[in-house]
Amino acid sequence: MICKNCGYENDDQVKFCVNCGEYLYDDPEEETEKETAPEPEKEEKTEEKAPENKGNDKKSKRFLKREKKKAKKEKKTGGITFWQSLKRIMIAVFITVIVCFGCGIYYFYNQKQSNAKELAELQEENKDQAKEIKRLKKELKQAQKDKEDALVNEKLAERDKKQAQEALDDAEAELEALQDDSDDSSSSSSSTSNNTSS
């Protein structure tokens, strides 16, 4: 039988092309006719042995029924055998696993890159915050120093004020003492002058 797909000449008893694997029979009846159609020489022999072939006719009918069922089944499955379908399933599973594996690698790689980028941003932010904290600590120290200086200056000013007040009080006391002395001396001089005039 000649394959309709590739043109390779196959043996009449095979169902699939030896070269390309294509199903050779389009119609299951065509297959069974060719299988059951005896060659001209065999027909002559069967005619001679007709009484003996009664059992063979039943067997051939059963065989034809089985072959028709097989042909229908193959036609439904598109001529694909169990091993071919298993092979296709295994290939599909393998491709699915590879695609899932590739997607997983892609996802984890992107996740790692995203995490690294986020970490770098956080580190940069931490550096900025550390600089800000240092600046604020420096300003706080300066403010505390200024406050301490202001307190010291205030205490010095109070002390200077007290000293000035004391100096002023002393000066006023001396002035009063001088005035008292001058008043005493003027009164004693006036009394001495009064005494001398008398």
pLDDT along the chain (198 residues), means of 10: 83 82 67 51 45 58 78 65 85 97 95 92 93 94 93 91 90 85 70 58
Q: Is residue 107 part of a domain?
A: no
Q: Which two tokens stand for residue 108?
A: 């984890």
H-state helical runs in 37-81? 40-48, 54-76
CA pair distance 182, 187, nearest whole angstrom: 8
Residues facing 16 on adjacent strands: 23
CA pair distance 94, 185, nearest whole angstrom: 132
**Is 175 in a helix, a strand, or coil?**
helix
Q: Is residue 162 part of a domain?
A: no
Q: Is residue 123 part of a domain?
A: no
Give the domain extent around 28: 1-80
Angle between helix 54-76 and 28-36 (nearest 10)? 150
What are the backbone dihedrals phi and psi of residue 16, each rounded to the nearest 5 degrees, phi first?
A: -120, 150
Q: Is residue 49 part of a domain?
A: yes
Q: Is residue 54 part of a domain?
A: yes
Q: Is residue 135 part of a domain?
A: no
Model pTM? 0.32
Q: Is residue 36 part of a domain?
A: yes
Domain tally, the chain: 1
Per DSSP, 159 falls in state: H
Q: Is residue 5 part of a domain?
A: yes
Tell me if 71 sits within 8 A of 34, measured CB to CB.
no
